[in-house]
Structure 1
Amino acid sequence: MMRKLFCIALLAAAGCCQAAVNDAIRIKDLGKISGWRENALTGYGLVTGLAGTGDSARNKATRQSIANMLSRFDMTVVADDVQSRNVAAVMVTASLSPFARAGDSMDVTITSIGDARSLVGGTLILAPLKAADGRIYALAQGPVSVGGYKYDMNGNVQQKNHPTVASIPAGATVEQGIVNDVTQGRGSVTFVLSEPDYTTASRVAAAINASLGSQLAQAADAAGIEIRIPDAKRARLSDFLMAVENVTVTPDRRARVVINERTGVVVAGGDVRISRVAVSHGELKVSILTDNTVSQPLLVSHGGEGIRTAMVSNSRVEVDERGEAGFVTANGNTVADLVQSLARIKTNTRDIISILRAVKAAGALHADLVVQ
């Protein structure tokens, strides 16, 4: 059954890859404009309102944080006097959109950094979120959402997922946006391919020039295409970039065979070729079986001197060899053809993976072999 599903998946992937080669794809699906990236934000905070599942008294940092928080409200409490287990120290993380503006909301993730058992039912107290430059860009606060639980009593524990990780949907408010200048003070923008390739970069530049009717684009390298912005379009840059993004092009693809040894799945494009190769596949199975028996002499019950019970091991070796070895020849075929031939001689998926690796080592597989 696994072999049938494997062959069906391989053939379906081969057909899809062949169709994808013949179909044009929008440029926006191949990469992005340089400067468009999310910015990581990190902050430290306290989650309160826990039902005795917070940090223990051994966490001095948590007790000191509680004392510092109370001092903001004109309450002086020594950190050593704090004994609450309803509070947990957490780290707060978020991703700031490249076009976020002040007042926008974004999701945050909360992770415990102490020995809290669960964050269920807690509320995050106002926590500032900083970027790598040390400036505050957002503030996070609100009730946390935990996709699990953990309850324990008298040595009995019931747990689901990770209750020490939580999230707050739209729990952070952007206080300061990021100004992104995609032109970087120049009269051009750079389009960056997700998968660098000289052929694809050249095709993208040619497609842009053909669509816009002017020599505006030029491939700088395998990953970047420089696109000059006409003077008449600089006042309406968004419209110009929209026209560029919707230009279609047929990208060039590298031949790849992806192997997942854990699940036994092989995915290959339909255009992956194999040179002339012969594959001989046989199987030899050796089994060593041991039977342990107890030897019980009759004179033991009569107290005979020197007579005792003994453990006896009887071993046998069994050799099972397939009557005929599988032999497959391929001349100018594809990976899909080779796999079909191997399936006809009832080769299991694990052996197919080993054969493909051997074909690659022999120099007959003209594709990148990716082993996961």
Structure 2
Amino acid sequence: MTLKSVPQIKPQLTPAGHFFAALVLTLTLLLGSISVAQATSRVKDIAEFEGIRDNILVGYGLVVGLNGTGDSLSNSPFTEQSLESMLERLGVNTSGETLKTKNTAAVIVTSTLPPFQRQGTKIDIVVSSLGDATDLTGGTLVVTPLLAADGEVYAVAQGTLTVAGYTAGGAAASVTNGVPTTARIVGGAIVERELGYDLASLTSLRISLRNPDITTSRRIAQAVNKYIGKDIAEPTDPSTVVLNLEGSNRENMVELLADIEQLMVDPDQIARVIIDEQSGIIVIGSEVKVDTVAIAQGNLTVRITETPQVSQPAPFSDTGQTVVVPRTDVQVSDDSDKKLAILNKGVRLQDLVDGLNALGIGPRDMISILQAIKAAGALQAEIELM
């Protein structure tokens, strides 16, 4: 018995089959591109979790060891009082004495306490001069308590200052680079008090959006519920989404948040134009649209330049006199080369910018044009002045 190989039969597609296959491929690519376009930001990048926040610390202290660049005690009485109090705590009695040192400066110490920072860890601090000190280079900050808004001490700062700026000069000239009256100390404060917030034991938590928006809060809740498989997230307002740990099959809130913060969400935004008239900065959102409108911009500019010249007689001449002869140059520019531009209905950011740039319009004139378009009712966006 002879076995013959069976030839492979390749399916033949009819024209309709080719069209159907191309349609399926196109829809697949389209749906894939849509899903990629929608998943633009992680939840952790557009929202914050309740309790996971920084805390501001501030304190008042003294910097010593300056090379004659400290506060003048006659002009900074608070520096003298602080110095006397510090010396008395150290057992030095200065009552009735007149202090004339210029090696001490009163400073304000600021820092940011990160969330869940444990006792004994170190944080960075910034030291800024409070009096008339001219340079903090070489100074040492003595023990300074750092307080939070509740009045409690959360850290204690001390250490040698690191100053980025400097001042050098002589009797006739001086050079200043940076700000020599501000310094930093890396790891200059030790945390002495922890914030009492047990995140792992919570059964519910709120997610706060950095840019409140109803659509974005709803999309975050939908993304969370789809990932968990149950309705544990509910948007309560444009800036808040409430999470319910019950029914999420998670043992604690930390595990749940670790999964949620990596979810991808397409944040929505209001069509808005931000204008800073002082600096001439314009920021136009991607959702800004313009109805059909015609734009023309032109200014009448008259420039008059006076260049007087002196006319005098020839040397050793007995006749004639020296006079000033006026020379006037008048130039008139009416921007006749500028043309009328038409923006069609529904144009977006790129079309709007291209149309205005085609007229040779600068930022200052563009601000007035945008306000005029808004007044005409053709700009479908909100204008916010800074």
Tell me the TM-score normalized by structure 2.
0.80
Which of 196, 204, 208 is matched with 2:212 structurally?
Answer: 196
Alignment of 1:315-334 (within 5 A): 315=328, 317-332=330-345, 333-334=347-348
| Aligned length in residues | 349
Q: Is the 8 A contact 1:21 1:253 kept in 2?
A: no
Residue 303 of structure 2 corresponds to 287
* Shift in alpha-carbon separation, 1:292–1:19, aligned structure 2, 3 A: farther
Residue 55 of structure 2 corresponds to 39
* Shift in alpha-carbon separation, 1:83–1:369, aligned structure 2, 3 A: same
In 1: Cα distance, 2:72 partner to 2:152 partner = 32
Alignment of 1:216-227 (within 5 A): 216-227=232-243
Q: CA deviation at 1:294?
A: 5.6
Residue 27 of structure 1 corresponds to 43
Residue 105 of structure 1 corresponds to 122
Q: CA deviation at 1:182?
A: 5.0
Q: CA deviation at 1:295?
A: 7.3
Gaps of 5+ in 2: 1-33
* Shift in alpha-carbon separation, 1:62–1:79, aligned structure 2, 3 A: farther
* Shift in alpha-carbon separation, 1:264–1:53, aligned structure 2, 3 A: same
In 1: Cα distance, 2:70 partner to 2:163 partner = 14
Which of 68, 80, 93 is matched with 1:76 structurally?
Answer: 93
Tell me how large the CA RMSD over aligned residues is: 3.1
Tell me the TM-score normalized by structure 1.
0.83
Residue 126 of structure 1 corresponds to 143
Greater shift in the superposed pair: 127-136 or 249-258: 249-258
* Shift in alpha-carbon separation, 1:176–1:79, aligned structure 2, 3 A: farther
Q: Is the 8 A contact 1:147 1:166 kept in 2?
A: yes
Q: Is the 8 A contact 1:63 1:79 kept in 2?
A: no
In 1: Cα distance, 2:204 partner to 2:52 partner = 15
1:124 partner amino acid: L
In 2: Cα distance, 1:21 partner to 1:232 partner = 28
Residue 361 of structure 1 corresponds to 375
Q: Are 2:224 and 1:208 equivalent residues in the alignment?
A: yes
Q: Is the 8 A contact 1:21 1:251 kept in 2?
A: no
In 1: Cα distance, 2:51 partner to 2:214 partner = 21
Q: CA deviation at 1:19?
A: 11
Which of 271, 275, 278 is matched with 2:291 structurally?
Answer: 275
In 2: Cα distance, 1:79 partner to 1:153 partner = 37
Higher relative contact order (CA 8 A, sep 6+): 1
Residue 165 of structure 2 corresponds to 148
Q: Is the 8 A contact 2:41 2:267 kept in 1?
A: yes
In 1: Cα distance, 2:95 partner to 2:45 partner = 57
1:362 partner amino acid: A
Q: Are 2:186 and 1:169 equivalent residues in the alignment?
A: yes
State the SS of the aligned residue for 2:141. Answer: strand
Greater shift in the superposed pair: 307-316 or 186-195: 307-316
* Shift in alpha-carbon separation, 1:111–1:323, aligned structure 2, 3 A: closer
Q: CA deviation at 1:201?
A: 1.0
2:349 partner amino acid: V
Q: Report sequence identity in percent.
A: 38
Q: Which runs of 4+ in 1 moved over 6 A?
A: 295-298, 307-310
State the SS of the aligned residue for 2:227. Answer: helix
Gaps of 5+ in 1: 1-17
Q: Is the 8 A contact 2:245 2:252 kept in 1?
A: no
1:339 partner amino acid: V
State the SS of the aligned residue for 2:146. Answer: strand
Q: Is the 8 A contact 1:257 1:268 kept in 2?
A: yes
In 2: Cα distance, 1:233 partner to 1:174 partner = 36
Q: CA deviation at 1:363?
A: 1.6
Deviations 1:121-161 (A, max 9, x none): 11111111111222211110100011111234435322211
